[in-house]
Amino acid sequence: MNLVILAAGQGKRMRSALPKVLHPLAGRPLLAHVLDTARSVATALGRTSQFIVVVGHGGAQVREAFAGYADVRFVTQEPQLGTGHAVLQAAALLSDAEPTLVLFGDVPLVEPDTLVELVRAAGSGVCLLSARLTDPSGYGRIVRDADGCVMRIVEDADATDAERAIDEINTGILAAPTRRLKSWLAQLGNENAQREYYLTDVVALAVREGTPVAASVAPDAGQVLGVNSKAQLAQLERRVQQRNAERLMQAGATLADPARFDVRGALTVGQDVFIDVGCVFEGQVALGDRVRVGPYCVLRDTTVGAGTELVGFSYLDGSRIGADARVGPYARLRPGAQLDDRVHIGNFVEVKASRVGEGSKANHLAYIGDAEVGPRTNIGAGTIVANYDGVNKHHSQIGENVQVGSNCVLVAPIRVGDGATIGAGSTVSGEVLPGGLTLARARQIFNPRWKRPIKKPGG
């Protein structure tokens, strides 16, 4: 089928240089949500489909942002002369053999099932998506005849008192037979205050020709909310996050407060997962059974094994964490960090592009970069792996059952043998042999004749 998405609007009330359909909702552009829905509809209906996006203001930015969408075709509406004019720009690309579904790039919450029902209800005629509002002021009303068929859409300013009492409003989304839609689009006029060509005017043309026109009521008016301002975008964000929270709780997760929780990508959870307040999940995140996430953690593109605890205020990006581990508080795992089972990474510890073996620990104020750390090794407080020489990153190999004292510097590339102990305060730049004690620090001295400088009066 033909799926046409209108994304040419400037969005003046957004007060932004960014095209409206590129503003993020749950971490992804508004238009991305609509495209995902369109694909789901096409799949559910089992139809061969094409996706056409009509761009205008900021069209080059929109095309660039969606350059990776190989199945999407773009057409430009220039100048912007209304919704009917926008669909007309796509007419040459529409297959007459398939119906056309028109969507809006700034209306991202419509559920696929709602649109599938709309297309099926259209049959060989036209079907509008409508909604019932407690306060329909400002919206075009759906006027039906005695049999429930749509006769016309009347704008709020032009409605009679009886018509204003109608609570069913038009959303602008519609499904129609493509050949007839092209004919109606060619007949549209712009005799109105805005001098624009309105897509809603095809309803009157269809009724005049005797084409059946129906309206399918959205099961939830919240699905058809659009974005015209930053305030409305924020309202939709909370609706999306409430959906996410409900889905996760149905999957068995416990959320300390569903209203203080954000998913900006895809989050999957096992059983008995607990998520505290203020956590943000970006990209692809998976939490195993019994994982506990403390307050104000950020996880991006990370997997966490069963029984692991992430203590508050930790930041995990591109990481893989095994089972029964403990991370945080205030820990940072950068891309390429891999923690095996039962690893402890404590407060103010950073791990980057490194694997830390089973049962190993770095509990305080340490940095591990570009290193392989064996099992049951302890990295002391204040210890760093100096992996960068100002030009190149160097790899280090630290064996199993190694004890590294506090405030050590391991100058990469370096190899530390199994069972080695490195004394506190050592700066090690050569190979550390297995077993025994390695010290690399200046001898302590005492000078009893040394005098501390005294500040001169008035100095």
Catalytic residues: 364
| Partners of residue 345 on adjacent β-strands | 327, 362
| Partners of residue 379 on adjacent β-strands | 362, 404
Give residue 138's region: left, alpha or beta (phi > 0; psi -120 to 50): left
Alpha-carbon distance 322 to 253, whole Å?
Answer: 19
DSSP three-state, residue 103: strand
> CB–CB of 353/370 below 8 Å?
yes
Structure tokens at 40: 């789901």
Q: Are strands 254-255 and 213-217 parallel, antiparallel or unpaired?
A: unpaired
C-alpha dihedral (270, 223, 146, 164), degrees to nearest 10: 150
Sign of CA dihedral 249, 255, 261, 266: negative
Alpha-carbon distance 54 to 25, whole Å?
Answer: 20
Q: What are the distances in angstroms from CA 298 to CA 24, 236, 283, 301? A: 18, 22, 11, 10
| Partners of residue 321 on adjacent β-strands | 304, 339
